[in-house]
Amino acid sequence: MSDYYQLLEVDRGAGPEDIKRAYRRLARQYHPDVNGNDPASAERFKEINKAYSVLSDPDKRQRYDTYGEAGVEGMAGQGADPFSTFGASFDDLLGQFFGGGDPFGGGRSRTRSRARRGETIGMRLRLPFTEAVFGTSKDVRVRAAAICARCAGSGAKSGTEPTVCSRCNGSGQQRTVRQSLLGQLVTATTCPVCSGTGQEIRSPCPDCHGQGLMMEDSTLTIDIPPGLEDGSQIRYQGRGHAGQYGGPPGDLIVELAVDAHPVFDRRGDDLVCSVEVPMTVAALGGSVPLETLDGKETVEVEPGTQSGEVKRFRKRGVPHPDGRGRGDLLVQVAVVTPTHLGEQQRALIRQLAQLRGEEVEPQGGGLFARLKGSGR
């Protein structure tokens, strides 16, 4: 387990801008593209991304500050199923800290409320790279507990009402008194009849079997602003599972799983790609067409361009989620050495080498011809 603040080399009080700056600096430093796919750098890059996805989100950061990695671990989710839920585990976690996960239960007062807050629903939404860059809207199917229409959520059959629990007299707790060597031993456990609610439903509603809730499918349109990264979360307050017996509803959290793009990578707000430039064009200058996310562009290549040089297209990167500005597009030049040379081409290049005083393999002989001749 690693400390996210340490990973990003910031202190715990760092503001959002500091965190973003630190992330950009480190991402540039450890990006696989600039480290020749060195596995250690790739691992570090992944860790940095994970730390940033948490610390850049105020909600996740707070959870991380409070509960550590365990508080955000479940949010990362697993598998490609967009409807897999991870909310339950997080609510379980809350339960460990607040006792029972029922903030309305109280426990001290005699008049316990039956109301229970609805659980949070977590879902992962897969998005193509380009849609995440420019923003989109998606209809998703949400399966959530809703208030039972038949009993209006009371859980009791029509014409009846929940009554005070006959077993525990409404305390919600069952006390067991045992005689021991040390005297009377009293233990209190949750009442099995009313599950601690203090109220008993003698004639349950036939639709919801006394739960007051029914599972329902609905469709929700998710508006995704431009520029959100893989792992970003959108929270819909009150759109999770309905609360039981009058409790408030939980939230719905949609986590984005953004697909990789075959050509473009994201580096913060910048898009990064590489473009192949023939050796002749790199030497003499020219232009190379490039299909960007915004359409066709032309990469101007100055005479004497080297492999690895980066061309910057301002405001052709990822738009900012707040709608103000865009990052840049960084195009890295890859000079391509010509292969499959014909006689004449070979002669021309040989002549060029001679003029420049550069030593090349002698005509019709040399090491590589001998290797070829020996059947390799």
Q: Which residues bind Zn ion (CB under 5 A)?
A: 148, 150-151, 165, 167-168, 191, 193-194, 205, 207-208
Token output for 141: 């199917």
d(CA 4, CA 21): 15
**Quick one: which of 194, 32, 238, 232 has its CA closest to 105?**
194
CA distance 11 to 4: 10
Q: How far is the CB of 202 from Zn ion (least distance, A)?
A: 12
Q: How far apart are CA 328 and CA 294, in angstroms?
A: 12
User: Which residue, 54 or 214, has its beta carbon nearer to Zn ion?
Assistant: 214
CB of 209 to Zn ion, least distance (A): 8
- Residue whose CB is less far from Zn ion, 51 or 191: 191
User: What pairing do the DSSP bridges indicate for beta strands 121-127 and 252-258?
Assistant: parallel
Q: Which is nearer to Zn ion, 82 or 204 (CB)?
A: 204
How far is Cα 240 from Cα 250, in angstroms, rounded to an integer?
A: 4
Dmax (CA) for the chain in angstroms is: 108
Which residue number, 71 or 153, has a Cβ lying nearer to Zn ion? 153
Q: Which residue, 132 or 156, is less far from Zn ion as judged by CB?
A: 156
CA angle 33, 36, 38 (to 5 degrees): 105
Residue 151 vs 331, nearer CB to Zn ion: 151
For residue 248, the minimal CB distance to Zn ion (Å) is: 19
Spatial CA neighbour of 90 closest among 116, 105, 72, 104: 72
- Of 164 and 185, nearer to Zn ion (C-beta) is 164
d(CA 364, CA 240): 76
Report the nearest approach of Zn ion to the CB of residue 117 (Å): 19
What is the nearest approach in angstroms of Zn ion to the Cβ of residue 99? Answer: 18
Host H or E run for residue 146? strand 136-147
Task: Supply the minimum distance, in Å, between the C-beta of residue 194 and Zn ion.
Answer: 3
- Containing 355, the helix (H) or strand (E) segment is helix 343-356
Minimal distance, residue 145 CB to Zn ion, in Å: 12
